[in-house]
Amino acid sequence: MKLKCLAAVALTAFGSTAYAQSSVTLYGVIDSGLLYQSTNAASFSPTAKNLGSVFRYKDGGIYASFWGLKGTEDLGGGYAVNFKVQGVFDSGTGKFGLSDTAGVPALFNQWATVGVSSPFGTLNMGRQIVPMAFAMADTDVRSAQYFGSILTAWLGMNTAAGWPGTNTNGPIGALYDSNAIVYKSPSFSGVSAELEYAPGGVAGSIQGGTRESAVLRYSNYGLNLAAAYYNGHDTNPGPTTVPTGVDNNRFWYLGALYTIKGFSISTSYSNGKNPAHGNLVDLDLVSLGLGYRFAPDFQVTSGIYYLHDANNSANKATEFALGAEYSLSKATTLYAQVGHVNNKGDMTMTIDYGAPVAPGMGTTAVNFGLRHKF
């Protein structure tokens, strides 16, 4: 009996120790609203027709709805093992978000990583949001939101380069990368760096399907600066494309955001190019943002984004956006926003992520909704 009691005490103590050193968190966001758009198309196809105005339920006015699990095991001495799985879903239909494969959803399409953090930085491995996306968000007054921001302008760059919008494997830069290895350095006086490499796993081609990127950031005294470089091979493949290692995706970005006494101003310049066919894809993007926080729970932001085709001056697009956010609590935000995009030539830039417009068509959109974190 004593032996059984001692064993039970030992198991209880071991279980308590393991629990104290580890943590797992369920978290997520539901972001739902209504959208009116004056013109609308069924897809980003270069032959898509204008279907007229639309009024609809729209998930993701600020960012997409998502849910995930994350956990940490403390190894001691400043070292820890971390994991994170996260995926988006449409709160209107319950459908999961897209993967790299056209038309195929994925449960964890944003994050599926395991990694190690230490005093020397963090290393994460698996599918994840790429460093350049955070660099762009940190230097945009509109914070790379799903409505009228540097994100939607950059997506316009991708549709201009031939991205159909049916997968997450765009031809210019990347929002997510599969099989990625990302190292993030500690911050030294506000300066930090991130390096990414994603092996392609293509037999017979060491560069087939590979991705690499680097980001340098500075954040101090109200100033955010970011420089990003991304290079990819065999991106935006067709259904029968055989990876050969062709260097067809190059993107670089310079951005700055400064905040003082409630005012915020941002600017950026970026270029997206297909190095293998620069005569076909060479696009410049310029942005300017201005915002003001009237109170800790209320802010207004605005942005102008101009996209230009260096190979064809007739192809250009300008996007304007204005938004207001009011925090009911730390977890719940009300928002309202309005925007307009003016497309010329073959451009298909959209004001709202996931709401296509026909080539060369302008559109005005109004969106309001509720975002809740749990």
Identify the H or E element spanning 155: helix 150-160
Structure tokens at 25: 């968190």
CATH of domain 123-373: 2.40.160.10
Q: Per-residue pLDDT tens for 263-315?
A: 999 999 999 999 999 899 999 999 999 999 999 999 999 999 999 999 999 99
pTM across the whole model: 0.92
Helices 150-160 and 131-138: angle between axes, nearest 10 degrees: 130
Return the pLDDT at 14.
Answer: 39
Low-confidence ranges of the chain (pLDDT < 70): 1-21
116 Cβ contact list (under 8 Å, min separation 6): 79, 80, 81, 82, 122, 123
Q: Per-residue pLDDT tens for 310-351?
A: 999 999 999 999 999 999 999 999 999 999 999 999 999 999
Contact 168, 155 (CB under 8 A): no
Return the pLDDT at 241.
Answer: 84
User: Domain boundaries in the chain?
Assistant: 123-373
Backbone angles phi, psi at 4, to 5 degrees: -65, -40
Beta bridge partners, 316, equal 308, 344
Return the pLDDT at 314.
Answer: 97
Identify the H or E element spanning 55: strand 54-59
Return the pLDDT at 152.
Answer: 98
Query: Which of 212, 274, 275, 209 shows the shortest CA–CA distance to 242?
Result: 209
DSSP string, 17-28: HHHHHEEEEEEE
Backbone angles phi, psi at 194, to 5 degrees: -135, 135
Return the pLDDT at 21.
Answer: 62
